[in-house]
Structure 1
Amino acid sequence: MTPLRDRLGPIGARLRPGAGGTLRAFLAWWAQALASWLPAAWRQALGMDRGRLLLHVDGDDLTLRLHRGGGITDLGTVPGLAPETDLAGLATPATDPLARLLKPRVAELPRWLFLPAASALRRRLVLPAAAADRLRDVVGFEIDRQTPFAPADVAFDARVLGRRESDGQLDVELVAVPRSAITPQTAALGPLASTLAGIDVAAADGAPLGVNLLAPADRHRHRDPWRTWNAVLAAVAVLACGLMLWQVLQNRRAAADAFEQQIAAQAQAGRRAAAARQQLNSLVAGQAFLDRARAERPVAVEVIDELARRLPDETYLEKLSIEGQRLMLIGLSNEAAALVGRLQGSALWRSPALAGALQPDPASGRDRFTLTAELVPPTPVPAPAAPRPATEAADADASR
């Protein structure tokens, strides 16, 4: 099993369906995972890796060590430790004995009693994954079977070593220390015993195992000096995030309004262009209609000119009407009966005929006539052929 899987195994067991995992456990693991990407100096500055102060009692001496970032640093040894003297007379029981020995930043760290590896009894257990949420309570029922002590005679804790891939069960290690081995050391600490946040045991290599043998009710809760600042920074971050989202929303609204105005302006221009196009289409259609109508009958000037050449000089026209394809002439003439023959053979009209009988006009001595004819559409003139390019003309001459 890889180290990454070892670290994710406990969290995976807690977050499995039915394992009773909590959101707080996931958030704590997530925050630790994010903090692990930051440099150690940044984590310390942000209060994410404050560390802890390890107290190791060796006879009459008290050794102080700083455990931070996975490493242990020796701070010094207080000689002549005795309960009767309240830590060599450095302070009374009502005060903090280590306040004068350590810097305030170190003195405020959580204090842990650090026991040697030989004082602990360790047993490996296999438990269901559902036991991860209440691991301490579950292993408490295994003390009678795994150790020669009763649960009341030992201080114990358990840690998750990993999770099996085959069945998903947890590999757990039970760590138990007889209270008879802890009581003399807590008594030697004197007033410092009430300030302990936990009791840890050294591993074979001297590093802490990462367990807390101290009962939860006896653990001293240290106030985190960064809690207020963290709350303020979190509030500022939430406020800044809200302002950012509001500003983004306002920007989107302004952009939407500007886009809507632009669309309205373009739509108005489009409507004007559509109206102009419709007007142009109407004009083109009207012009095309006039062109077709003009092409379907001769020009009136040509008709009048043709009549002037064909009608005799003693013929007078009172009315000339062109309606569609129908030509109508009303007038007076001495040769009214011969007018039909004179109008025959014209290219502008056909089928000339008198409409009704001739009526003599006593005033002029001529006959009144009404003559009709059908206009003939003019013959379209073919478009001249486009001139051939010089190269094609040269090729044609060469072929001839």
Structure 2
Amino acid sequence: MSLQTTIDFDPKRFWQWWSGELAFLLPPSLKRLLSDRSGCVIFSPDDHGFRIAFHRESGPGQTASWQLDANAADAYRQLKNANPELEKADCLLRLNPGQALQRRLFLPAAAQENLQQVVGFELDRYTPFNAEQAYFAASVLGKTEFGQIEVLLVLTPETLLDDYLARLQALGVQPAAVDFSQAPTIHPASAPRYTLLPEQFRPRPNTWVRAIHWSLNIILFLLLAAVLVWPVWQEGEAVDALKRQLKTLEKETTLIEAQQSEIDALREQTQRLIGIKSDAPSLVAVLNELSILLKDDTWLTHFQYAEKRLQIQGQSPAASSLIGVLEASRYFSNVSFVSPLTQDKATGRERFQISMDVAAVPVDAAPDAAENPEAENSDSAGEPPHE
């Protein structure tokens, strides 16, 4: 089957099949309660009258048969009195071989829309009769792989069928349909549906019964639709409710994420400030370190600190020795003179300008001279008194 294949769907046949399958599942007692039909009475004409076969509604295997004399007008009435279930049975006239014929035709698919007219127009090509001489019925059996339709054609001479119908009417029997024994329309249920009964002899449907039938069908369809649609509708409502909750949660999540971003930014700035503070030494500690390292005969005139770089200016009796003193400190590194040493004539001391890098000292670092003033005093005990 290709994607271009057209699906041939017959709603009427589908309904007949589906209702038959559902009815098969019902218990016989319940089927008799819900249905006014007891079965089907099949009349088959023979030389002595009619052979009758009764197929009960509860199953095709439950049958009964009788022989009916066509010349006895009250014969069928007496048979119905002896078998009351025949009163509610449908009547079917079934023609035997030699009384009808059948053929299988293959026609273009376009002929399906007006099948009866197409077959009637060319009936004399397929059979020895024309449309005025025979009653015929055409039923589509299916489609072939060549794009054609397979058609079952059944026909019988008008004079023959009219005679059988007249004999049945004399017995008080009005058949609902006429078929051919080699192409039965009942048992199996999948048999093709057709009738050779002329239009003027077909029973007129009861409008009230048809209205009830269609009303019940509509109710059944609505119930079926409700069974199929109601759960889907409920699931759709649940999905919509979840979507609304999800939107609310998304708004709350967006707000929380924005607050979290602000918190992260503040935390990052705080860490940066803490890092800057931890990397830079305290100026008080730097001044304390300088006051300890520089002797009393050395004083400062300028002090400039920026970006971990310290510059000092002052006077000292031995300024050249300050480089080694400052380099020995844990706070200072890269100590160097910025300008040459000069001597102040008024004081006799050397002017100096020194630049150095300042580093932070861990709290748990080893104690230096500032923490051991006695060592410093012992080192300076031999120094001459300051001027």
| TM-score under structure 2 length normalisation | 0.64
CA distance in structure 2 between the aligned counterparts of 1:352 and 1:120, rounded to whole angstroms: 133
Judged with a 3 Å threshold, the aligned counterparts in structure 2 of structure 1 residues 85 and 157 are, in CA distance, closer, same or farther, namely same
| Contiguous gaps of at least 5 residues in structure 1 | 6-14, 91-97, 331-335, 361-365, 382-400
1:70-121 superposed Cα distances (whole Å, 9 cap, x missing partner): 947534548565686595489xxxxxxx699544xx7555432222222113
> Cα distance, 1:205 vs. partner?
9.8
- For residue 282 of structure 1, what is the aligned residue in structure 2? 269
- For residue 134 of structure 1, what is the aligned residue in structure 2? 114
How do 1:1-400 and structure 2 match up within 5 A?
25-31=9-15, 40-42=24-26, 52-57=40-45, 59-60=48-49, 63-66=52-55, 71=60, 73-77=62-66, 79=68, 88=77, 101-103=83-85, 110-160=90-140, 165=145, 167-190=146-169, 195-203=174-182, 210=192, 211-216=194-199, 218-222=201-205, 223=209, 226-294=213-281, 300-312=284-296, 321-324=303-306, 325-328=309-312, 338=317, 340=319, 343=322, 345-347=324-326, 348=332, 349-351=335-337, 372-377=353-358
CA distance in structure 2 between the aligned counterparts of 1:308 and 1:204, rounded to whole angstroms: 128
Judged with a 3 Å threshold, the aligned counterparts in structure 2 of structure 1 residues 194 and 139 are, in CA distance, closer, same or farther, namely farther
1:301-344 superposed Cα distances (whole Å, 9 cap, x missing partner): 3543443453326x887x874422344568xxxxx673746745
8 Å CA contact retained: 2:45, 2:96: no
The one-letter code matched in structure 2 to 1:55 is F
Judged with a 3 Å threshold, the aligned counterparts in structure 2 of structure 1 residues 151 and 69 are, in CA distance, closer, same or farther, namely farther
8 Å CA contact retained: 2:49, 2:68: yes
8 Å CA contact retained: 1:197, 1:221: no
Judged with a 3 Å threshold, the aligned counterparts in structure 2 of structure 1 residues 316 and 226 are, in CA distance, closer, same or farther, namely same
The one-letter code matched in structure 2 to 1:375 is M
> Cα distance, 1:216 vs. partner?
4.1
Judged with a 3 Å threshold, the aligned counterparts in structure 2 of structure 1 residues 34 and 371 are, in CA distance, closer, same or farther, namely farther
8 Å CA contact retained: 2:38, 2:88: no
- For residue 384 of structure 2, what is the aligned residue in structure 1? none
8 Å CA contact retained: 1:194, 1:220: no
Judged with a 3 Å threshold, the aligned counterparts in structure 2 of structure 1 residues 129 and 354 are, in CA distance, closer, same or farther, namely closer
Number of aligned pairs?
A: 336
Judged with a 3 Å threshold, the aligned counterparts in structure 2 of structure 1 residues 245 and 125 are, in CA distance, closer, same or farther, namely closer
CA distance in structure 1 between the aligned counterparts of 2:342 and 2:173, rounded to whole angstroms: 143
Q: Higher relative CO (CA 8 A, sep ≥ 6), structure 1 or 2?
A: 1
8 Å CA contact retained: 1:122, 1:175: yes
CA distance in structure 2 between the aligned counterparts of 1:375 and 1:192, rounded to whole angstroms: 138
1:174-198 superposed Cα distances (whole Å, 9 cap, x missing partner): 3221222222322232288785332
Judged with a 3 Å threshold, the aligned counterparts in structure 2 of structure 1 residues 264 and 370 are, in CA distance, closer, same or farther, namely farther
Q: Tell me the secondary structure at the aligned position of residue 176 of structure 2.
A: strand
The one-letter code matched in structure 1 to 2:203 is H
Q: Which region of structure 1 is more displaced relative to structure 2, 125-134 or 51-60?
A: 51-60
CA distance in structure 1 between the aligned counterparts of 2:163 and 2:313, rounded to whole angstroms: 147
CA distance in structure 1 between the aligned counterparts of 2:236 and 2:14, rounded to whole angstroms: 30
8 Å CA contact retained: 1:86, 1:191: no
> Cα distance, 1:262 vs. partner?
3.5
1:39-68 superposed Cα distances (whole Å, 9 cap, x missing partner): 833599598x99754334554556252287
The one-letter code matched in structure 1 to 2:295 is L
> Cα distance, 1:282 vs. partner?
1.5
CA distance in structure 2 between the aligned counterparts of 1:234 and 1:163, rounded to whole angstroms: 30
> Cα distance, 1:378 vs. partner?
5.1
Q: Tell me the secondary structure at the aligned position of residue 65 of structure 1.
A: strand
> Cα distance, 1:237 vs. partner?
2.0
The one-letter code matched in structure 1 to 2:96 is P
Q: Which region of structure 1 is more displaced relative to structure 2, 242-251 or 203-212?
A: 203-212
CA distance in structure 2 between the aligned counterparts of 1:75 and 1:126, rounded to whole angstroms: 38
- For residue 395 of structure 1, what is the aligned residue in structure 2? none
8 Å CA contact retained: 2:319, 2:351: no
| Contiguous gaps of at least 5 residues in structure 2 | 327-331, 363-387
RMSD of equivalent CA atoms: 5.0
8 Å CA contact retained: 1:87, 1:190: no
The one-letter code matched in structure 1 to 2:164 is Q
Q: Tell me the secondary structure at the aligned position of residue 55 of structure 2.
A: strand
Q: Tell me the secondary structure at the aligned position of residue 167 of structure 2.
A: helix
8 Å CA contact retained: 2:305, 2:311: yes
CA distance in structure 1 between the aligned counterparts of 2:199 and 2:122, rounded to whole angstroms: 19
CA distance in structure 2 between the aligned counterparts of 1:196 and 1:205, rounded to whole angstroms: 15
CA distance in structure 2 between the aligned counterparts of 1:353 and 1:125, rounded to whole angstroms: 123
| TM-score under structure 1 length normalisation | 0.62
CA distance in structure 1 between the aligned counterparts of 2:147 and 2:338, rounded to whole angstroms: 115
